[in-house]
Amino acid sequence: MSERDDSNNNVMVGALMLLAGGIIGAGIALMYAPQSGEKTRKEMARYAKKARRRTQDAVEAVEEFTDQVTDMAEAVGDRASEILEKGKDMAYGAKKGLLKAIAEGEARLEKERSRLSKMIG
């Protein structure tokens, strides 16, 4: 199961817990504030609609946030790959330059050896 699936499952569990909390809260409210049945049913229906709307809003917000984090992680991964490639290219260029400088230094050294050897004799 991917991280995104785990995240979506966590969102759903959270939404269900929020809904269950709302239902439990409504039940407790009924026990402590008795009123007519019709009025209570209307309030419960209104509360259920409000709780459903808030739960849907929360789920949508979490899904949007999850998508944004996923997109950001992908962008960071892509950028890291680009930087790694540039670093490899720079290292290769520096290696070529260093090898060229060593070869030129060896050639100059050999030239000086030859010159000194002719002088000494």
Residue 109: is its pLDDT beyond 80? yes
The answer to whether 52 and 22 have CB atoms below 8 angstroms apart is no
pLDDT at 27: 76
What sign does the CA torsion over 70, 72, 77, 82 have? positive
Residue 1: is its pLDDT beyond 60? no
Cα–Cα–Cα angle for 101, 107, 108, nearest 5°?
90
pLDDT digits 0-9 by tens, 49-78:
988 898 888 888 888 988 898 899 899 988
Predicted TM-score (pTM) of the model is 0.44
